[in-house]
Amino acid sequence: MPDTSPAAPPAPAPAFRPVSAFDVPRYAGPASFMRLPLVDIDAAAAAAVEIGILGVPWDGGTTNRPGARHGPRQLRDLSCMLRPLHPATGDDPYARAAVADLGDVPVNPADLMDTLQRITGFYERVKRRGILPLSAGGDHLMSYPILKALAADGPVGLIHFDAHTDLFHDYFGGFRYTHGTPFRRAIEEGLVDPKRVVQIGIRGTMYDGSDVAWGLAQGVRIIRIEECEARGMDDVMAEARAIAGTAPTYLTFDIDCLDPAFAPGTGTPEIGGLTTREAQRMLRALAGLNLIGADLVEVSPPFDPAGGTAWVGASLMFELLCLLAVSPALRGRAG
């Protein structure tokens, strides 16, 4: 019988390989995510990029401890420690896809609403190029303008790792755009399908429970950390996969999903969170989902100047990169 399996995509050009520490010491040369080439989104070379890693150096939605605007720079610096092969699977994401650092998204630290428009506009250009974005924050409000670009054609699913639901209606007497409101806005505006949203790791003291009540009323699946522990990580992730299904899905990971023993450098830490090992296992369970993009947010270097939190964040970004490299959305682009 003839072979009907899909043809493998062509191998990425060598220009999109990370610089090897066998050739250049990790601390030398220009800083870029994973030591990848820096490519301008409007340059001719961007036409060959399949996965773009971007920084969003902005924390204008922060309501308490700031500093996440400095996250992308420290994440870039610490990502120089990463090697190409996945430790558990042996997979090489750079052999599957052409990956580049697309630099930082333009922001306006003096104007929140202007920055939201700038972020959406930049990701619209990324989408037109057919590039799957992997983004480093920045506070969690940034996911909302990213979704405005990526979900312009219709609602997507959402897998959301966090200590907090980010489903509040407003702060400070009616202000609707903070890092506690992005997914309320995304659901209200039809950017995500609430019945395909799963939130994992939720915990901590609460204001009044209105965020949880609203989310449940919309059909959001909220899995608190206690349920994760009682059921086991594999069972929880099997449910997350079922909720996402085969349709396009976005993945967002707030570093405060982790216990502050592992990631103290964040604005709103909550005790009793995931370990780094649990986070790796849970992300790896999502391989093969139809992911159209991902982000890692809320790394705040001023609260961990030694870089331990950023090292955790960069390592989890590599896990996210490996998920994007096997996403059906990427294979569809190649086809």
Q: Which residues are annotated as a binding site for Mn(2+)?
A: 140, 162, 164, 166, 254, 256
> Of 299, 298, 291, which is closest to residue 320 (Cα–Cα)?
291
Q: Which two tokens stand for residue 133?
A: 């974005």
User: Mind giving me the DSSP string for 19-42?
Assistant: PPTTTS-TTSS---GGGPPB--TT
**Identity of residue 46:** A
Report residue 54: phi and psi, to 5°. Answer: -130, 150
**Identity of residue 66:** P
Binding residues, by number, are 140, 162, 164, 166, 254, 256
Using DSSP bridges, classify how beta strands 221-224 and 192-202 pair: parallel, antiparallel or unpaired. Answer: parallel
- Residue with structure tokens 């390592």? 315
Q: Which residues contact 301 (CB under 8 A, 6 or more apart)?
A: 67, 70, 71, 73, 74, 265, 307, 309, 310
Q: Which residues contact 194 (CB under 8 A, 6 or more apart)?
A: 187, 215, 218, 219, 220
Q: Which two tokens stand for residue 256?
A: 């405060």
Q: By three-state DSSP, how is residue 18 classified?
A: coil
For residue 64, the tally of other CB atoms under 10 A from its CB is 8
59 by Cβ neighbours in 10 Å (0-12 / 13-18 / 19+) ranks as: buried
Greatest CA separation for the chain:
68
Whether residue 155 contacts residue 200, with contact meaning beta carbons closer than 8 Å, is answered with no
